[in-house]
Amino acid sequence: MLSERETRIIQESYARIYENADKFSENFYMNLFEIAPDLRPLFAADIKKQGRKFIEILSIIILDLRDKKLIVPMIADMGRRHVKYGTERDHYQIVGQALIQTLDETFENKWSSTEKQLWIRLYNFVADIMIEASNYDDVS
Ligand code: HEM
């Protein structure tokens, strides 16, 4: 998915967020619910715990990017669980937008367009596996 060099760039980029993970996830959900207030009721009232889980899973994926055999089944399982949370296919694009916006605000002008493109690719990689595993096309 990403080359060695690209993996290193995104890991370094991620380390900068991790220094301030709580603030980052708080801003992420603030942005998400500003873009799509109708998604708020899907989440528990206490969004702090949720934010930690989101950051934790991102770190696992980013640290293990080279080990597809490990991360792909884990991401697919996560996608299947999301169907039960009420997540729909179209929500993935909105969550991706909130993530990129939050990264933009966090790094201000201190991130390159290369870095931004890598984050978009990483998010799409994860979202595509989750969507695929969710079988949204099946008539149930
Ligand atoms: C790459 C995309 C995403 C990642 C990495 C991610 C990550 C997570 C993680 C790690 C959890 C904790 C529970 C679990 O592991 O099953 C979770 C829960 C949840 N996610 Fe996501 N998620 C993503 C996309 C979405 C989208 C598109 C939605 C749609 C609104 C969403 C809504 C939720 C909800 C409602 C919960 C449960 C919250 C609760 O029970 O309080 N997620 N997510």
pLDDT tens digits, one per residue of 35-93: 999 999 999 998 888 888 888 898 889 888 888 888 999 999 999 999 999 999 999 99
Q: Which atom of ligand 1 is nearest to the CA of 94?
A: 27
The whole-chain average pLDDT of the chain stands at: 92
Report how far ligand 1's centroid is from the alpha carbon of 134 (Å): 13
Ligand 1 pocket test: pick from 32, 54, 124 the residue with the most ligand atoms within 8 Å of its Cβ. 54
Q: Is 125 in the pocket of ligand 1 (CB under 6 A)?
A: no
Report how far ligand 1's centroid is from the alpha carbon of 6 (Å): 26
Q: DSSP 3-state assignment of 111?
A: coil
pLDDT surpasses 90 at 129: yes
Fold of 4-134: Globin-like (1.10.490)
Residue 140, number of CB atoms within 10 A of its CB: 5
- Tell me what percent of the residues of the chain surpass a pLDDT of 70: 99
- The alpha carbons of the chain give a radius of gyration, in whole angstroms, of 15
Check: CB of residue 73 under 8 Å from CB of residue 15: no
Report how far ligand 1's centroid is from the alpha carbon of 83 (Å): 10
Q: Is 54 in the pocket of ligand 1 (CB under 6 A)?
A: yes
Predicted pLDDT at 58: 86
Q: Is 35 in the pocket of ligand 1 (CB under 6 A)?
A: no
Q: Is 57 in the pocket of ligand 1 (CB under 6 A)?
A: yes
Sign of CA dihedral 127, 11, 62, 35: negative
